[in-house]
Amino acid sequence: MSRNFKILLLLAAIGIMLIIRRFAIGLGASTALSDGYPLGLWIALDVVVGTALACGGYAVALLVYIFNRGQYHPLVRPAILTSALGYSMAGLSVAIDLGRPWNMWKIPLYFRNWNLNSALLEVALCIMAYVCVLWIELTPAMLKPSRITRFLDRILVWIIALGMLLPTMHQSSLGSLMLLAGPKLHPLWNTPLLPLLFLITCLAMGYAMVVFESAISRRHTALLAVLQKIAVFAGIAFVALRLIDLALRSRLSIAMHLDLYGIIFWIEIVLWLMPAMIANPFRGAMCIALAGGLYRFDTFLVAFQPGPGWHYFPSVSEMFISIGLIALEIAIYIALVKRFPILGGMPAQEHSRVAQAFQPAPRHQETT
């Protein structure tokens, strides 16, 4: 075990202990959450930003399976693994954040009580389904060939298609969540385009994360430049949409007041445009991830205005639970990629029909 891995495990252990403490002493005592800010770090960061960063699988799947860029196929598995872990950690964060988690099973099962107007219901059901889909997509990598894998193989197309449908739905619904906050959301962030903007940001951040992983694992680096371009393009589209939308609804003047909100708004815009000027794909990806993360975090926390007298900054305990969960996620990722064939692209001996169908021709395959 390397030193870094040990540090990750230590952080994860601290996080887990703090989680136990949270359940022992209650939310009020372990977090800085309040009636003014009922949603805090765990929702804004772990769930909203975290799931976007975990959209790598979605983003690459679109590229490979819909736009038929088979040369990116080796990136699919590591992206799906990151997605699976990221979404699982997000789900765990929700379970920790809920005040009455023992009722959680009622969400998928009490379908007669479903409030079909609720964007949160859509998000919850979709994410629950998507986590299952992601782990199912990983089973070919982790299980030996058997009856199960052969069955999965036959329906894999439909699972993969589901793996592209579900994020489209719930990432846009995540945007609608704050749309319901209505007048409590600052006018620079409050727009009917929120679902679309959240979808664009999750795709951009997904691609950015794929660039990250590949850069860190030093694999398939030749492909990164194009991914980087996609992310940059998404960023420019995002900025254009936002500014045009604000202008059309006569709200652009608000951004000219350089109060806290105005300044943060422009920081977001600048961060989105910077990658166009950065050659280093790693730094460019960092910028995109930061820009998207900041935008989504702002929508849920900074631009949320409960009224005078309320303040929120996450407690140390909250922060170290988030850090612990992220460290756990990274540690598991490292352990799994060492154990299972994830990073190297699909090995030739796999008889997956899907794999064969989407495998690029040998002359395009990269030698590492």
Partner 1 sequence: MSTIAEQLRRSGASRRDFLTFCGKLMVAAPAGLAITSFLSPEAVAATIGRARRPSVIWLHMQDCTGCTETLLRTSQPDLATLLFDVISLDYHETVMAASGYDAEHALADAMKENDGKYILVVEGSIPTGESGTYLKIAGRNGIDMLRDVAAHSAAVVAMGSCASWGGIPSSNINPTGATGVDSIIKSKPVVNLPGCPPNPYVLLATILEFAATGKPPKLDSLGRPKFAYDRVIHDHCPRRAHFDAGRFAKEFGDSGHRSGWCLYQLGCKGPVTHAPCSTRHFNEVVDCWPIGIGSPCVGCTEKDVAFTVPIFKTADIIHPVPPNTYPPIAAEHKGISPVATGVAGIVGGALIGAGLLASRNFPSKEE
Partner 2 sequence: MDIDRRSLLKTAAAAATLTIIPAAEARERRVAPSDAVGLLYDTTRCVGCKACVVACKQANEMAPDVDGYGGGLYDAPEGLNEYTKNVIALYREGEEQSFVKKQCMHCIDPACVGACMLGAMHKGAFGVVSYDAAKCVGCRYCETVCPFNVPKFEWSKKAPKIVKCELCRHRLAEGKEPACSEVCPRGAVIFGRYADLLADARERLAKNPGKYVPKIYGERELGGTQVLYLSHVPFEKLGFRFQGEEAVPHVQQSVQHGVYKGFAAPVALYALLGAVMFRNRRRGDSDE
Q: Which H or E run contains 169?
A: helix 147-179
Joined tokens for residue 58: 């979605």
Among positions 279-298, residues that touch partner 2 (CB under 8 A) are: none
**How many residues sit in the footprint of partner 2 (CB under 8 A)?**
71
Q: d(Cα 55, Cα 299) in Å, to the nearest integer?
A: 18
Beta bridge partners of 304: 185
Residue number with CB closer to partner 1 (280 or 356)? 280
Binds partner 1 by CB under 8 A, chosen from 29, 143, 180, 222? 222
Min dist CB 178 to partner 1, Å, is 22
Question: Quick one: which segment of 19-27, 229-237, 280-288, 345-353 binds partner 1 (CB under 8 A)?
Answer: 280-288
Q: d(Cα 222, Cα 268) in Å, to the nearest integer?
A: 29
Among positions 223-242, residues that touch partner 1 (CB under 8 A) are: 225
Spatial neighbors of 263 by CB under 8 A, at least 6 apart, are none
CB atoms within 10 A of CB 277: 9
Question: Quick one: which segment of 64-72, 103-111, 221-229, 328-336 binds partner 1 (CB under 8 A)?
Answer: 221-229
Q: d(Cα 47, Cα 51) in Å, to the nearest integer?
A: 6
Min dist CB 283 to partner 2, Å, is 27
118 in contact with partner 2 (CB under 8 A): yes
Q: d(Cα 292, Cα 135) in Å, to the nearest integer?
A: 25
Q: In whole angstroms, what separates CA 278 from the centre of its chain?
A: 23
Min dist CB 200 to partner 2, Å, is 9
Min dist CB 109 to partner 1, Å, is 37
Half-sphere exposure for 35 (CA within 13 Å, toward CB): 2
164 in contact with partner 2 (CB under 8 A): yes
Asked if residues 130 and 84 have their Cβ atoms less than 8 Å apart, the reply is no
Min dist CB 55 to partner 1, Å, is 19
279 in contact with partner 1 (CB under 8 A): yes
Q: d(Cα 183, Cα 265) in Å, to the nearest integer?
A: 18
Binds partner 1 by CB under 8 A, chosen from 233, 266, 282, 340? 282
Binding mask 38-67 for partner 2 (x = CB under 8 A): xx-------------------------xxx
Residue number with CB closer to partner 2 (139 or 168)? 168
Q: d(Cα 150, Cα 308) in Å, to the nearest integer?
A: 60
Name the 3-class secondary structure at 358: helix
Residues in the site for partner 1, rule: CB under 8 A?
Answer: 32, 34, 36, 215-216, 218, 221-222, 225, 279-283, 286, 290, 307-316, 319, 323
